[in-house]
């Protein structure tokens, strides 16, 4: 069974991942899109997802395989993993703005949306999907007016030292634990 599904365009990687989770997708299945027509963030807010300028991906996890399934903790773990990946592949220092935003130079470059999925015939959380949207090389003028003062991009030009594929691979490969090189508390902006 394929574990990584790549699309040119989706309404939302979370919506597609949720459908896959309900259809029995394996834990670790990843959905990636070049752009989203209706990317979403917390509290029903939209997530600006233009083509060719971001990494938009969702990871499906089986709750039974996690030592915890609280969405806030899963989101925090994902946020630390994204920071670790960014710092490993770039010269950028990333911070977490509790609980789901990643900032570089006080600008939001990444949002994380964690959702739980319950099967119709089995109440309770069986799957957790983690949506990760990274403004990779979005020109400042491409952000909508309401985001101009808060949004930023991992890289400022289209000439980047890595690709979105490399960033996705690094996020998926990063492990967070006691042997981790960084002091994770420094990343969290209170």
> Average pLDDT of 7-36?
93
Q: What is the pLDDT of residue 97?
A: 92
Task: Look over the chain and give the mean of its residue pLDDT values, rounded to a whole number.
Answer: 83
CA distances from 126 to 15, 67, 130 (A): 16, 13, 14
Identify each DSSP E strand in 46-106 by its residue range. 54-62, 95-97, 101-104
**Are 58 and 78 spatial neighbours (Cβ–Cβ below 8 Å)?**
no
**Which CATH topology does 4-174 take?**
BirA Bifunctional Protein; domain 2 (3.30.930)
Q: Which residue has the tokens 């994902």?
A: 78
Cα–Cα distance measured from residue 27 to residue 68, given in angstroms and rounded to the nearest whole number:
15
> Average pLDDT of 126-138?
91
- φ, ψ (nearest 5 deg) of residue 158: -75, -15
pLDDT of 158 higher than 80: no
Q: What is the pLDDT of residues 72-112, one digit of tens each?
A: 788 889 999 999 999 998 989 999 998 889 999 999 999 99
Q: Where are the domains of the chain?
A: 4-174
């Amino acid at each position: 069974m394929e574990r990584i599904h790549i699309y040119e365009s989706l309404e939302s990687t979370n919506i597609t991942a949720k459908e896959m989770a309900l259809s029995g997708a394996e834990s670790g299945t990843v959905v990636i899109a070049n752009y989203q027509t209706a990317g979403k963030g917390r509290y029903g807010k939209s997530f600006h997802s233009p083509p060719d300028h971001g990494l938009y991906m969702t990871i499906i996890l089986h709750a039974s395989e996690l030592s915890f399934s609280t969405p806030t903790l899963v989101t925090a773990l994902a946020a630390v993993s994204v920071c670790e990946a960014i710092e490993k592949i770039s010269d950028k220092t990333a911070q977490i703005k509790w609980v789901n935003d990643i900032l570089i130079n006080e600008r939001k470059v990444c949002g994380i949306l964690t959702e739980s999925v319950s099967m119709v015939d089995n109440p309770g959380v069986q799957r957790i999907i983690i949506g990760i949207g990274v403004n990779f090389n979005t020109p400042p003028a491409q952000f909508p007016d309401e985001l101009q003062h808060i949004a930023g991009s991992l890289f400022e030009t289209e000439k980047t030292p890595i690709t979105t594929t490399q960033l996705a691979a690094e996020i998926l490969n990063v492990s967070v634990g006691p042997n981790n090189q960084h002091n994770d508390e420094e990343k969290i902006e209170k």
